[in-house]
Amino acid sequence: MSHNIEMTRRKSNRIPALIIHAIIFYAFWACWALLIRPAMKDAMHDSLLFEILASCVKLATWTLPALLLIRHFSPELQVGFRQMFTAKVPLKSAVLWILLFSAYSGGNCLFALFRGNLHINPEFSLQTHFWLLGVGITEEVVFRGWMLNATAKSERDWKMILLNGVMFLCIHFPGWIQKGLFVSAFTGFGFLSVILFGAAAGICFLKHKNLLLVVFIHMLYDFILEFWQVG
């Protein structure tokens, strides 16, 4: 009886915990991206050490809290804490998803290759793109592993999947504002690709219940976008 009472109490706390976490999460990241990070970047002269420290901050403020929440509420989630790191994915399915996301991120690159104007980004380096090493795990743990996992009722819960895509879009706003890309992201309809990516990643996660596959796909997606340059 006491176990059932405890489960009921924890279930009633899952959504409030999600809301509180989201408020703190978005507020902190706005302050970080718009105020703290630019100041640190100027003070440290955009060095590799700065990129390492910035990545550590993201891991500490994104990944760690989300993992603790996932572990705490694991029995109530669509995909349990242990399952999301151990669930087996058929090789054919994994390859299909990898090819799908690669084509989505590299479609323009393929056309550029045929036209002969595809080049390696001359500014691509470990110092400027160190964030690629951690972006997949940080963003997927928060948005798919925790937020979507805590709200979706099934792998066909399209409302929650779409909402998660919009929430994933919103976390990009501070960075876009700081870089002066906010308006162009909407006038050029680039924001739609972010929502679509978030929704597709959510479907992949809920269907196969494996977060590591989605993390790898996310990292590959960003790498393709950053490594190749059209023009």
Please give the chain's pLDDT, 231 residues, in tens.
444 444 444 456 999 999 999 999 999 999 999 999 999 999 998 788 898 899 999 999 999 999 999 999 999 999 999 999 999 999 999 999 999 998 888 776 665 656 667 677 788 776 667 778 788 999 999 999 999 999 999 888 999 999 999 999 999 999 999 999 999 999 998 899 999 999 999 999 999 999 999 999 999 998 888 887 776
Which structure tokens are listed for 60? 């500490």
Within 8 A by CB and 6+ apart from 182, the residues are: 173, 176
Which structure tokens are listed for 207? 């269907």
Alpha helices in the chain (DSSP H): 2-31, 37-43, 48-58, 64-72, 83-86, 91-115, 132-140, 149-151, 158-170, 173-179, 182-187, 190-208, 211-227
Nearest Cα residue to 130 out of 64, 54, 57:
54
Q: How far apart are CA 201 and CA 107, in angstroms?
A: 18
| pTM metric for this prediction | 0.89
